[in-house]
Amino acid sequence: MATFEIINPSDPYIFDAPTREVATLAVAVLSDMYGVREDQGEWTAGPFTFMGKKEFASWFREQFGAPDFEHRFDDLRGEIGAALATVRIPGTTRETHDDKRTSISDIGRRAWAVSAKLSATPNDGGQGDETN
């Protein structure tokens, strides 16, 4: 497991993911305006704002060897959801998140909501586990 930074113009956010591929898809599903950087700064991807779907697919294939990022997203759905569940401002927990957040852009809560949706089973109506 590695720690990654969400590159954004707002509060600093980090999260944990098992691979660069999972980290990239996790950030891409949040917003094409964000990028991702490995905690040690050795590797960076995005932001993807000016990439169309074809350009992103081509870039993704080149980076990760996956012929179709949409199928990879489906394959990695659980890992992406688990990664998004760990999004946080450094030094905070979900309970202390608002104490450190300075921006109206609440990337943490958005990540947790997406995580819950990705973790939802087809039988629960897409509600997911709100206790994460």
Q: What is the pLDDT of residues 55-110, one digit of tens each?
A: 888 888 888 988 888 888 888 999 999 999 999 999 988 888 888 888 888 999 99
Average pLDDT, the chain: 85
| Half-sphere CA count of 2, side-chain side, radius 13 A | 17
Is the full-model pTM beyond 0.95?
Answer: no
How would residue 128 be classed by pLDDT, with cut points 50, 70 and 90? very low
For the chain, give every domain's residue range: 2-124
The CA distance from 88 to 65, in Å, is 29
Helices 20-30, 77-85: inter-axial angle, 10-degree rounding: 70
How would residue 122 be classed by pLDDT, with cut points 50, 70 and 90? low
Residue 22 has pLDDT above 90, yes or no: yes
| pLDDT per position as a tens digit, 101-113 | 888 889 999 999 9
Confirm if 80 and 25 have CB atoms less than 8 A apart: yes
